[in-house]
Chain A
Amino acid sequence: MTEDQTPGTNETDTRPEGTEDTLTQQDFIKARNRRNVMIAWSLVAFMVLIFSITAIRLKQNMAARQDAAMAEQEAVSVVRDETHAEE
């Protein structure tokens, strides 16, 4: 144990030597870990957003393609009916 005077104060530092640095470092590591967890969550959220956009776009494109195919089929059947009628 040290009995050093903390600069600028009247308090006596009674903590074991190096404790102050260790605490600061621990705080730093804890804060960094919390930031890393938040970055990880942000990445997960970003992936979910991209996945959602892809799924919705895919669904919309499939629906559009189906509509186009149906419209084409209808057009073909109309032409066929008209041709039959002419014959």
Chain B
Amino acid sequence: METRSDIALTGHASSKPAEWRDYFSLMKPRVMTLVVFTAFAGYIAAPQSIHPVMAAIAIFALAIGAGAAGALNMAYDADIDLRMRRTRLRPVPLGKVRQEDAYGFGIVTAGISIVLMMLAANIFAAAMLAFSIFFYAVIYTMILKRRTPQNIVIGGAAGAFPPMIGWVIATGTVSMDAVILFSIIFLWTPPHSWALALYKAGDYADAGVPMMPVAKGAKRTRLEILIYSMILTPFALAPVLTGLGGLLYGLAAFLGGAVFIILAWRVYNSRAGEAGSAEEGALYAVRAGDKAARDLFAYSIGYLATLFAALIAEHAMGAYIATPIGGLL
């Protein structure tokens, strides 16, 4: 079995030298896109605003910070990334970027992002960004990921920070609405990640990552997905009660939540994640029994995007229509 230091030493020496694109892909560009999107929603939904150029720089800093955390994650996880089909083509396991270079890149970009955030927004937003990078790179990646099946439950907090930081960029403080936005992503992460883990359980088992299906079994995972979905979908209506979300958001959360629960129920009643493996064939090949999990995984991304898009539409495009229950909380 190859250790992390073996990879650092041998690097699986790719004959091709590292290009700037390899460093860019270290930053997990797709995750950065989601971070920018949710942070913008948090910023735009806040009751105050700052100079638009400053806001753009602050959100850019947040994206760089998320990328830095991604680079540190890829540097540390090079050994397990190498064993997983989904991740083995990342720059470090491929040997394009050396592990120590990835660490260096992550630390430097993290520093730049925090300084930029402090200058463009405020020190509170910068401190939250620093904490979220630390939480993802150290608490989640280095401590939780390889030790507990609750890794993504606790670690999910790292991905939930962006809308709250967006809010803090605008206001300089945290309010109940900001905490609600944080909690929506926090509660969304377990059913989303476990749906993927159900049909990639073999991959995680090979890598020795104790994801829920590997550590507790598929049946327990399907039950937990359903429980988290039942908590998430009513909670996603909370912004309507505080008045943060209007009619459009309320409809999106209600209808989207109903479909979410139906899909989670289908996963619960399926045999997703049961013995056998979907790892053969194409990268995202799915066995018939895993289809329900694959559907929920794909849908959960659209669900979260729709919620935040509704918030943006209401607060940036004048689509806000107050509901009779707005302001109850």
Contact = CB atoms under 8 A, between A and B. Distances in A.
Contacts of B15: 24
A53 B19 contact: no
A27 to B, nearest CB: 6
B120 interface: yes
Report, nearest first, the 8 A-B pairs whose CB atoms are least far apart: A31-B17, A38-B20, A28-B17, A53-B119, A35-B20, A56-B51, A53-B120, A49-B57
Contacts of B120: 49, 53
Nearest to B112: A46
B187 to A, nearest CB: 35
Main secondary structure of the interface of A (DSSP, over half): helix
Contacts of A31: 16-19
B207 interface: no
A80 interface: no
Given A34-B20, A35-B20, A52 B53 contact: yes
Interface string A17-49: 000000010011001101100100000001001
A35 B119 contact: no
Interface in B49-98: 51, 53-54, 57, 60
A87 B16 CA distance: 90
A50 interface: yes
A34 B19 contact: yes
Contacts of A49: 57, 60, 116, 120
B53 A56 contact: yes
Interface of A: 24, 27-28, 31-32, 34-35, 38, 46, 49-50, 52-53, 56-57, 60
Interface residues of B, number: 16
Given A52-B57, A53-B119, A60 B17 contact: no
B57 A27 contact: no
Contacts, number: 35
A60 B20 contact: no
Given A28-B17, A31-B18, 9 more contacts: A24-B15, A27-B17, A31-B17, A49-B120, A50-B119, A52-B53, A53-B57, A53-B116, A57-B119
Contacts of A57: 119
A35 B19 contact: yes
Given A49-B116, A52-B57, A53-B120, A60 B51 contact: yes
B49 to A, nearest CB: 13
Nearest to A39: B20
Interface in B150-180: none
Name the residue among B17, B51, B54, B112 with the largest chain A CB count within 10 angstroms: B17
A30 to B, nearest CB: 8
Contacts of B16: 27, 31
10 contacts: A24-B15, A27-B16, A28-B17, A31-B17, A34-B20, A35-B20, A52-B57, A53-B57, A53-B120, A56-B51
A32 B19 CA distance: 8
B93 to A, nearest CB: 19
Contacts of B112: 46
Contact of B54 (A34, A38, A46, A56): A56
A54 B15 CA distance: 44
Name the residue among A27, A32, A38, A53 with the largest chain B CB count within 10 angstroms: A53
B57 A32 contact: no
Name the residue among A34, A38, A46, A49 with the largest chain B CB count within 10 angstroms: A49
A35 B53 contact: no
Contacts of A60: 51
Contacts of A32: 17
B36 to A, nearest CB: 16
B11 to A, nearest CB: 14
